[in-house]
Chains A and B, each alone.
Chain A
Amino acid sequence: ETGVTQTPRHLVMGMTNKKSLKCEQHLGHNAMYWYKQSAKKPLELMFVYNFKEQTENNSVPSRFSPECPNSSHLFLHLHTLQPEDSALYLCASSQEGGSYEQFFGPGTRLTVL
């Protein structure tokens, strides 16, 4: 595997389900990010982890819970989501947080029924 990978690529879940999105980067980076891309809206930053420590939470509802066990892996745990949470969830990584270039994974297309 190279670059940034994300699983699953597609996910359909009910509002009462609990699921997790997984991201793995193979670039030797130390910062990882979750972004949300909804139709008609700009890409929105959700969370930032730099050297495994969360450095940004962009006022994300608590039904989204991130986890970063090490610099290569990032998870987004989902529970009791709403239909308006349906979107493309993108993971990115960079050498460190800040001015470094960020590289995106392919994304997980989430549909909440």
Chain B
Amino acid sequence: QKEVEQNSGPLSVPEGAIASLNCTYSDRGSQSFFWYRQYSGKSPELIMSIYSNGDKEDGRFTAQLNKASQYVSLLIRDSQPSDSATYLCAVKRTGADGLTFGKGTHLIIQP
């Protein structure tokens, strides 16, 4: 079983709509969860961190965490063409300092 799983996409969403990105993880003891955005040829950029169950909102972005279901998601409201990128889910597993990443979801916002 992969440790952090994401649908690789591409996920195509019309401009102005809500983009929903999903991630599941296998280590039930995982404590911290992060979403990064990576444009082609660039390094990952931190968008959101979430540590407790529920929703966390920051501007157009909302992260959702459900530890019982081992599921974390990222919603992007009012999607813009500039949101087109690969979104990486990262998890801090029990006892680790480093992060475990999923393969990423390629998001395309269609004008």
Contact = CB atoms under 8 A, between A and B. Distances in A.
Contact of B101 (A43, A50, A107): A43
A33 B98 contact: yes
Interface residues of B, number: 24
Interface stretch (A11-19, A70-78, A98-106): A98-106
B98 A104 contact: no
Contacts, number: 57
Given A90-B44, A106-B43, 9 more contacts: A35-B98, A40-B103, A42-B4, A42-B104, A43-B44, A50-B97, A97-B97, A101-B46, A105-B43
Interface of A: 31, 33, 35, 40-45, 48, 50, 55-56, 58, 88, 90, 97-99, 101-107
Interface of B: 4, 31-32, 34, 36, 42-46, 49, 51, 88, 90, 92, 96-104
